[in-house]
Amino acid sequence: MSLRHLVTAALAFLWLGAASAAVEANKATEAELDGVRGLGPSLTARIIAAREKAPFRNWDEFILRVPGIGPARAYQLSAEGLTVNGESYQIQGVATPPGVPAIPKAPAAPAAPPKPAMPKFQ
């Protein structure tokens, strides 16, 4: 096997891995939805029942039509790879939605100790 074949195979593997990371709420199978961390059989069934009436146009509609999904849960599911019409959940102008703990910032580096004063010679 040539180096070219190995590189091509590796790139194909990476592409398939990236493509499978997102789970589209309007198209995913029951098993794919169950594979999203935070979705269980009950919530998956509610999503499928709601989308059978009509596909979800956006996250706001998804939240309104699926009982048990609010902004905080939508944010968490989106972080686990769930999309609605290919979009991740976002709230305009809000870094973290209400009810979701903000990710703590790394502590600031301690200040450098002061340099010792030079002794004065007389």
- Architecture (CATH level 2) of domain 22-83: Orthogonal Bundle (1.10)
- Look at residue 111 in the predicted model and tell me its pLDDT: 72
10-69 pLDDT, tens digit each: 444 444 444 446 999 999 999 999 999 999 999 999 999 999 999 999 999 999 999 999
Closest alpha carbon to 74 in 56, 55, 90:
90
Which pTM does this prediction carry? 0.60
Q: What percent of the chain has pLDDT over 70?
A: 66
The domains of the chain are located at 22-83
Query: What's the one-letter identity of residue 122?
Result: Q
Q: What is the DSSP string of the chain?
A: --HHHHHHHHHHHHHHHHHTT-EETTT--HHHHHTSTT--HHHHHHHHHHHHHS---SHHHHHHHSTT--HHHHHHHHHTTEEBTTB---BTTBSS-TTSPPPPPPPPPPPPPPPPPPPPP-
57-112 pLDDT, tens digit each: 999 999 999 999 999 999 999 999 999 999 999 865 555 555 555 545 556 667 77
